[in-house]
Structure formats: C-alpha cells, structure tokens
Structure 1
C-alpha cells in the first residue's frame, strides 16, 4: 500500500463503526466511510467533541451537524502547497489527503526530468495534482466538467503562491476535450486522471468505468509525446482491482514505450490503532 504519512495539517485520528475521525488543520470532522466495517469500540470524548459530524440519510445524501462554529472554509498545507477546505453537502471537503503520495511522486519525477514537462490533469477536481505539478515546474492543463471545482482549483493555485505559473483551467467534458486534442495534434509529457465510476454527458452520453476506461486510456495515449514521463490512473471505484489497472497500463504502454509500471492501494495511517485505511487504487507508468 502507498501510504500518505508526511502530513502535518491532516490526521486520521481514529476509525470504527463505519466512520472516521479526522483533523483538518484546527478543525475535527466526523464522516462516514464505507471501507470501515470494523467496530468502533468505545465512543471516546474525541469522537463526541468533533466540531462537525456528517450524517447519512437513508434516502441518499446527508447533512452536517455542528457542535462548534467553524469557518465556511479554511486553509491547510502539505509541504509548500496550500488548499482550501470546505465541508460540502456530499460529505467531502474538497481534498483527498491520501493523494499526497501521488503529489510527492509526480513532483519528484518532474523535478528530475531535466526538461520542460507538459502535464494534462483530467477529472482534475479542486486541483491537488495541478498545484503539485505546477510547484514542481511543469506546465499544466487542468480539465474538469464542474465549473465550481475548477474555480476552487484556481483558488488553491493562488493560495500556494503559484498564480503566475503556466496553468490553463478548462471547464469541459473530459472525453470531448481529449478527442479535440487528438485532432489538434496537442501532445503531453504526462497525463493524470481520476475517472468516475459512472457519468453522464451533456447530451445523454453514459460512462461506466468497467466498459469505457480502456478505450478512453487508449485515446489518451494518442496525445502523449514520443518520450512521455509518466501516466497515472487513480480510481475509487469498488470492484476494480489494482491488478486490473496494472494489466490495462501494461497492455497500452509497454509495447510502445517500455518503462516501468506499478500498482496498488493508496491509504492513510490511523493514529489511534496503527492500522491503515485503504482509500483507493492506482497504477503508475513511468519512463
């Protein structure tokens, strides 16, 4: 498992009973997590005194209850990077801290490349990977279909003091954008993606990861340069294993580019128990 262990502004304090207790800077949140199927044991004062608690609804969605007044949004840091945190109506906070293992890896690869690197970040959300790659010196094209999260990503770039870096933020359907880049002859040295399990396009197009990931990745390899640096696929889709991602990447990348491929789970250390919480899977190809 790739474990994000070098946080100071984030901590996974405890887990159990389908929930996790987390510190985001100075704010402690209590949220559900479907991976946590072990019991909590004792509901300690730390659990009871969480600043905010997200409760799932039996009809879908849920809501936050607040024990203390917290800011609408606040800032946390990872190394020299800064991010706005904001509890949303879908239990998320705008950042997935386990992704720090990918940020650190990408930054190292870009800095060691010794040449200009152009990165395409697809399904880019609030821009954790975008900010990391820009901080390492890359040119980045950030694409997401949701206008609100693209604006959030712009704020994160500014927070990190990287507003002058060559980053293009594009609000667009990711699949159509990649097709247009193929027609335009655009090329990238590195591609990052975190595709959803399911999706629906503006004209009723449907996306299902199990059916569509391979052909989509195939179209992405068509916009890589002749000497690409890396390709990273991250997934939170249950039922898809890291070995499946490994097999797809091997089939697509090895014959043309050689290189090395690794895959596995990503996760976070749990302070109270010493256990690790699995949070998703990845596959990485590198030159």
Structure 2
C-alpha cells in the first residue's frame, strides 16, 4: 500500500456508513465512497462539523447539502504546490489527494534524470501530476477532453508559480491526440495516464479499460524516446488489480526496455481509526 501520509492541508478525518469525512484546508466535507462498507464508530464530534454533505441519489448522481455558506472555491497546498478546490455536482473536489504518492516520486525521477525530460500527461484532469512535473523542471504536455478541467489545470499551474513554465495545455480526445503525435513523430521521455473505466470518443468509439488498456499502452510506447524515464498508470476501475497492471507493464515496457515495475494499492490514512482507505491502484515502470 502506498499511503499519502505527508499532507498538512488535507486530512481524512473519519469514515463509515459509505461516507468519508475530509478536511480540505479549514473546510470539512462529507462525501460518499463505495469502498467504505463498515459502520461509523460514533457519529459525533467531527461528523457534526461538516460544512457540506454530498447526498447520493438512488436514481444516480446526487447533490450537496450546505450547512453554511462556502466560498465558490479555495486553495490548499501540498509542499510547494497549490491547488484550487471546488465541490462539483458529481461529488468531486478537483483533486485526488492520494495521488500525492505519485507526485513526489515523479519529482524525484525527473530531477534525478540529469537531462531535460518531456512528459505527456494523458487524461490530465485538473493537473496535479502536470503541476508536479513542471515544478520538477520537466517540459509538460497536458491533455484532457474537458475544456473546463484544462482551464482548472492552468489555474493550478499559476497558483503554484509555474505559469511561465513550458507546459502545453490541450483540450482534445486523448486517443486521437496520441495517434496524431505518432504521425508527427513526437517523442516523450515519460507518460502518465489515468484512463477511465468506460468512455466514448468523439465519433462514438467506445473505450473499455479491460479491452483497450494494453493496446493503448503499446500505442503510447511508439511515442516514447529511445531512453524513456518512466510510465505511470493510475486506475480506479473496480475489478482491475495491481497484478493486472504489473502484467500489462511487464509484457509491454518490461519486455522492450527491461527496467523496474512497481504496482500496488494507493490510499489515505484515516485519523480516527488509524486504518487506511484504499483509493485505487498504480502501476509504475521506470528505467
């Protein structure tokens, strides 16, 4: 288990009854999480301090119940990085705090490379990984199909004092973008991806992680340099295990380049119980 243990502005206070209680800066949010199948030990104390509670609807989706007026968005920091936080209509806040376990690793890999590194961040969302890589000194290309989250990523770069760094922010279908990069002969030293479980392309193409991940990894290998530094795959898909990611990386990058493969769960420490909440898996290949 890779646990993000060094946050100061974020804290997973408690969990139970399908909900997690989180502190984002000085604001406490209560949100659902399907992994939490155990009961709340005692619903008092911090639980009663929640500033907002996301209620999931039985028909899908849900909505926030605000106990008091909150700012439209606010800022939290992780080490030297800063991020905007905003409760969205689909329960997210714009940041996955467990991903901090990858940010530190990527910063160390890039700064220790001894050469200029080009990073491609696919399905880049609001740019947590892009901010970390730009901070480390890499040239970054950030791609996501949502214009709104690409704008959010730009704001996070500016918040962290990285607005003048060599970062390309592109709103595009990820699969089409990789195909165009192949035709253009573009090359990257490191590739990060957080692919969805299921999705549709601009022309109705369907994506299913179980079916399409391996060929997509192979496709991405064609735009890596002759001396690639790393590939990172994050997955939140239920049913895909860390061993599956290890097999995918072993049969693709491992077979071609050798190197080291590390896979496992990522999670967040729970203050009240001293347990760890699993939050997905990662697969790392490194030269």
Report the TM range for the smaller structure's normalisation.
over 0.9
1:45 shift after superposition: 2.8
The answer on 1:15 being equivalent to 2:15 is yes
**Equivalent-residue separation in structure 2 for 1:210 and 1:6 (angstroms):** 33
> 2:157 is matched with which residue?
157
In 2, the alpha carbon distance for the partners of 1:175 and 1:153 equals 20
The residue aligned with 2:190 is 190
SS in 2 for 1:87: coil
1:228 paired to 2:228: yes
Per the TM alignment, residue 255 of structure 1 is displaced from its structure 2 partner at its CA by: 2.1
CA distance in 1, matches of 2:109, 2:53: 38
The gaps in structure 2 that reach 5 residues or longer are none
In the TM superposition, residue 224 of structure 1 has moved relative to its aligned partner by: 0.5
2:195 counterpart SS class:
coil
1:80-91 alignment runs, 5 A limit: 80-91=80-91
Per-residue Cα deviation, 1:216-258 (whole angstroms, up to 9, x for no partner): 1110001000000000000000000000000000000122211
Displacement of 1:48 in angstroms is 1.8
Please state how far the C-alpha of 1:49 moved relative to its aligned partner: 2.0
**Once the two structures are superposed, what CA deviation does each residue of 1:96-119 show, in whole Å capped at 9, x if it has no partner?**
000000000000000000100000
5+ unaligned residues in a row in structure 1: which ranges?
none
CA shift, 1:129, in A, is: 0.1
The 5-angstrom pairing of residues 165-244 of structure 1 reads 165-244=165-244
Partners in 1 of 2:183 and 2:243 — Cα distance? Answer: 32
Distance in 2 between the 1:45 and 1:53 partners? Answer: 15
Q: TM-score if structure 2 supplies the norm length?
A: 0.99
> How far off is 1:201 after superposition?
1.1
Provide Cα deviations, 1:62-119, integer angstroms capped at 9, x if missing partner.
Answer: 0001111110000000000000000000000000000000000000000000100000
Please give the alpha-carbon distance, in whole angstroms, between the structure 2 residues aligned to 1:255 and 1:39.
45
Deviations 1:9-68 (A, max 9, x none): 000000011000000001000000000001112211311220000000011000001111
What secondary structure sits across from 2:112 in the alignment? Answer: helix
Q: Distance in 2 between matches of 1:213 and 1:74?
A: 35
Is 2:137 the partner of 1:108? no
Q: Which runs of 4+ in 1 moved over 6 A?
A: none
* Structure 2 counterparts to residues 25-40 of structure 1, below 5 A: 25-40=25-40
State the Cα RMSD in Å. 0.5
CA distance in 2, matches of 1:113, 1:41: 47
Q: Which residue of 2 aligns with 1:278?
A: 278
Q: Which residue of 2 aligns with 1:263?
A: 263
Task: Report the counterpart of residue 128 of structure 1 in structure 2.
Answer: 128
In 2: Cα distance, 1:6 partner to 1:228 partner: 29
The whole-number CA distance in structure 2 between the counterparts of 1:123 and 1:254 is: 23
For the residues of structure 2 that align with 1:276 and 1:78, how far apart are their CA atoms? 20
Tell me how many residue pairs correspond in the alignment.
287
